[in-house]
Amino acid sequence: MDVVWFLVLSAFIFVIGAAGVMTRRNPLVVLLCLELMLNAGNLALVGFSRMHGNEAGQIFALIVMVIAACEVVIGLGIIVAMYRNRLPIDVDEMSELRG
Amino acid sequence: MSATSYGWLVLAFPLAGLLVTSLGWRVLPGRTAGWIASGAILGSFLASLGALVQVQDLPREERHAVDSIWTYAATGDFDVEVGIFVDPLAVFMCLVVSGVSFLIHVYSISYVSGDHGFARFFAYLNYFVFSMLLLVLAGNFILLIVGWAFVGAASYLLISFWYRRDTATHAGIKAFVMNVIGDVGLVIAAFLILNETGQLDYLGVFERAPEVFAQNDGTIVATCLLLLVGAFAKSAQLPLHTWLPDAMEGPTPVSALIHAATMVTAGVYLIARTFPLFELAPTAADIGAIIGTATLVFAATVALVQTDLKRVIAYSTMSQIGYMVLGVSVAAYSAGLFHLMTHAFFKALLFMGAGSVIGAMAGIQDMDRMGGFRKAMPFTFVTFTIGALALAAFPFTSGFFSKDEVLAYTINRGGGYVVLALAGYFGAALTGFYAFRMVFRVFGGEPVPEAKELEGGHAAHGEPMNPMTGEPEDTDVGFPGPEHNVAESSPPMKFAMAPLAFLALVAGVVGIPGVTDTLEHFLEPTFESSRYIDDHPSAGAEWVGLAAGGIISVASIYVAYVFFVRRRGITLELRDRFPKVHAFLFHKWYFDELYDAVFVRPTATAGAFGRRVVETDFVQGFIVGGTTGIVRAGTSFARAIQTGFLRAYALLLLLGVAGLVLYFLLASS
């Protein structure tokens, strides 16, 4: 199969994830969409790896997965902490960084 | 020990006293600080006597000694050394300064006994005496300037001793500023001397000066005029005199010490010390003589109408220093210094008497409220009258011989100097009048309530207040203490006044023309190189002058007697008939007002302009405000981006990345 298919799929998934991050207000869903974006990136890496015939891209994809796992741990931890403190589960409400 | 060893001892004693009293004031019990300080000055006086003996032992031709303990700055051609110069003039000044200072220290032990700054006062006094002795013993111009500046600082501290009294602190600032004008003159003069002769120690300068400078050379005249600026600021001569009357805000012993006996004579000493330069610049010396004469007449006229007891004595001090400046400026060095010595005695005595009277009046200094203290204060009355007699140059008192010697020498120079001498005699007539105006108004007439109370055995006790403004005060530190002392009940005050009264009467014996002339012979080695050394009036001429002076003195005292005893009230009539003259004299010829209009107000206006326009509008408004405005505008844009919405950040991030990718794509193709 041509690498373009992989890339087109990857781009679709990435845009879906990005749109989700942009539009959803529930942090849990935002995290899921982030995951989509990361995996879109993985797909592109693996596709290129296959095209070039070497393993570097696959190793990158593995590392991205590890990072994603770490990120999810922290993100979920923050969401749990928000629950515990009875804060609204809404990213728009969390605007302490406003200048 | 050599003369210079004694010279160092003279300096060491007050310095030690200063350190002990200033560092140990917490642990020294009672009046110990006062006794330690007085003892230090006594030690200094004894060391001066030792120096006197040693100097007299030296052969007549080389009767001076130089010694240095430390080379402060070594340069190629000349070194600045911490060195002293001991010669008859320096020894003479040391004796007068330390002797009178010792008595004033003892007097102060009683005078400020109730004050909450007792040890501080004596630390200041010792510091002052140390500075003054440093000034007279200095062996070069650098050390002279150091002593000169120290003396100004000490005078500032002492005038502002009651530092919570606004008028006193203002007077201190005024004195300091005026003195700094003189310091600047002295420093520039020293620079010119160094520039031309390459030397700064006295002997070197005086040796080189005749080779370098032509007679009345422009540079030497400028140098001497700058020296005169220094001398006039310190000695309160026109036009730098305005600080001295205000300095009377300080405690009375301070007035006696600084503003009568020692500090204000520093200018006279300076002119006498640098006489080789002044003899090279006769123009400058003549200007000094003219200003001295002008000051003596001016101050005497002002003293006629002042009602503040201490201010009258202050103006008489200016007037008497005018005589001294006249004397040393017309090359009558020994006569001028003779008057310096007798003046130190009788003026310190007058101030001490005034302090005693002010004590009896519970701090009031206005003569209009005084009167009839004759019976209540017999000791003060007698000593004060002796002081006034000497001031008025009553025949055979000390002031009689010294003042007339100055005038006789002035006449002897002939020409225009005769006019100056006649002005001096006119001033002498005024002197006798205002001196006995004080005596008759304070001690004569009906006893005021305070005098009656004192006759009853206890001193008047007024509410503490500022005698200048009438503002109420308390008696804590920074204000005068609760107790006032009079000489009659304070042995230390009596102990100090009695020897001064004796000296004021008889100190003239060291300079009876044709009979003793002791002082003149003693000082001769210092002034040997003077071209006028053999140019003195004959004894006969001096006695004619003395007779004239005596007649003027007695006549002026008689006029005062008529005015203030026989026909009391005549002065009020005069005042009402000539209100303008009275106002002119009472406002001290409007010098303060003139300086206020010429210097103070323009400076204040310029300051206000600088504060309002330059500082507020330009610096604060334009420079600071402009910078902050730019930063503020920049940050408000940056703040606008920071919305706090997570999704907005995500959008920006995405757009940024997209932009970057787009850029690289376009750039690579």
Flag if A97 and B642 touch (Cβ within 8 Å): yes
Bridge-partner residues for B84, per DSSP? B67, B138
Q: Which residues contact B11 (CB under 8 A, 6 or more apart)?
A: B44, B84, B130, B133, B134, B137
Q: Which residue has the higher pLDDT, B467 or B356?
A: B356
From its phi and psi, is residue B642 left (phi > 0), alpha (psi between -120 and 50) or beta? beta
- Per-residue pLDDT of B444-496, as tens digits, reads 777 777 777 777 666 666 677 777 777 777 777 777 777 777 767 778 888 88
Is any Cβ of chain A less than 8 angstroms from the Cβ of B636? Answer: no
Q: A23, A26, A36, A92: best mutation site toward chain B, by most B Cβ within 10 Å?
A: A92
Flag if B650 and A96 touch (Cβ within 8 Å): no
- Per-residue pLDDT of B398-426, as tens digits, reads 888 888 888 888 888 777 888 888 888 88
Q: Would the pLDDT of B28 be above 80?
A: no
Token pair of B34 as six digits: 């006062």
Flag if B647 and A98 touch (Cβ within 8 Å): no
Least confident of B122-131, B223-232, B322-331, B356-365: B356-365
> Does 1.10.3720.10 match the CATH number of domain A3-84?
no
Per-residue confidence (pLDDT) for residue B664, from 0 to 100? 95
Measured CA to CA, the distance from residue B564 to residue B274 in angstroms comes to: 44
For a pLDDT cut of 90, what percent of chain B falls above it? 5
Question: Mean pLDDT in chain B?
Answer: 83
Is any Cβ of chain A less than 8 angstroms from the Cβ of B637? Answer: no
Per-residue confidence (pLDDT) for residue B432, from 0 to 100? 86
Q: What is the average per-residue pLDDT within B200-212?
A: 83
**Which of chain B's residues have a Cβ under 8 Å away from the Cβ of A21?**
647, 650
Q: Would the pLDDT of B79 be above 90?
A: no
Exposure string over B242-270, b if 16+ CB within 10 A, otherwise e = bbbbbbbbbbbbbbbbbbbbbbbbbbbbb
Is any Cβ of chain B less than 8 angstroms from the Cβ of A94? Answer: yes
> Could you write out the DSSP letters of every residue in B311-336?
HHHHHHHHHHHHHHHHHHHTT-HHHH
Measured CA to CA, the distance from residue B497 to residue B255 in angstroms comes to: 15
Question: Which one, of B198, B196, B404, lies nearest residue B281 by Cα?
Answer: B196
Closest chain B residue to A91 measured between Cα atoms? B646
Q: Would the pLDDT of B61 be above 90?
A: no
Q: For residue B391, what is the enclosing H or E element?
A: helix B378-391
**Which of chain A's residues have a Cβ under 8 Å away from the Cβ of B658?**
none
Per-residue confidence (pLDDT) for residue A67, from 0 to 100? 92
Q: Which residue has the higher pLDDT, B540 or B654?
A: B654
For a pLDDT cut of 70, what percent of chain B falls above it? 98
The Cα of A25 is separated from the nearest Cα of chain B by a number of Å equal to: 8
3-state SS track over B145-214:
HHHHHHHHHHHHHHHCCCCCCHHHHHHHHHHHHHHHHHHHHHHHHHHHHHHHHCCCEHHHHHHHHHHHCC
Per-residue confidence (pLDDT) for residue B662, from 0 to 100? 94
Q: Would the pLDDT of B242 be above 80?
A: yes
Q: Which of helix, strand or coil describes residue B477?
A: coil
Measured CA to CA, the distance from residue B237 to residue B320 in angstroms comes to: 10
- Per-residue pLDDT of B333-353, as tens digits, reads 888 888 888 888 888 888 888
Token pair of B223 as six digits: 């140098």
Confidence of residue B548 (pLDDT cuts 50, 70, 90): confident
Is any Cβ of chain A less than 8 angstroms from the Cβ of B640? Answer: yes
Segments making up each domain of chain A, as ranges: 3-84
DSSP letter for B620, please: I
From its phi and psi, is residue B362 left (phi > 0), alpha (psi between -120 and 50) or beta? left
- Per-residue pLDDT of B370-397, as tens digits, reads 777 777 788 888 888 888 888 888 888 8
Whether a cis peptide bond, with omega within 30° of 0, leads into B239 is: yes
Q: Would the pLDDT of B250 be above 90?
A: no
Q: Which residue has the tokens 């642990």?
A: B27
Flag if B647 and A92 touch (Cβ within 8 Å): yes
Q: What is the average per-residue pLDDT within B622-644?
A: 87
CB B269 within 8 A of CB B263: no
Q: What is the average per-residue pLDDT within B602-627?
A: 86
The Cα of A95 is separated from the nearest Cα of chain B by a number of Å equal to: 4
Confidence of residue B120 (pLDDT cuts 50, 70, 90): confident
Q: Would the pLDDT of B108 be above 90?
A: no
Per-residue confidence (pLDDT) for residue A59, from 0 to 100? 93
Bridge-partner residues for B140, per DSSP? B201
Which range in A32-46, B242-256, B318-332, B638-652 is most confidently predicted, on average pLDDT? A32-46
Per-residue confidence (pLDDT) for residue B459, from 0 to 100? 65
- Note down pLDDT in tens along chain A; length 99 residues: 788 999 999 999 999 999 998 888 888 898 999 999 999 999 999 999 999 988 899 999 999 999 999 999 999 998 898 889 888 888 888 777 776
Per-residue confidence (pLDDT) for residue B69, from 0 to 100? 82
Token pair of B641 as six digits: 């981006």
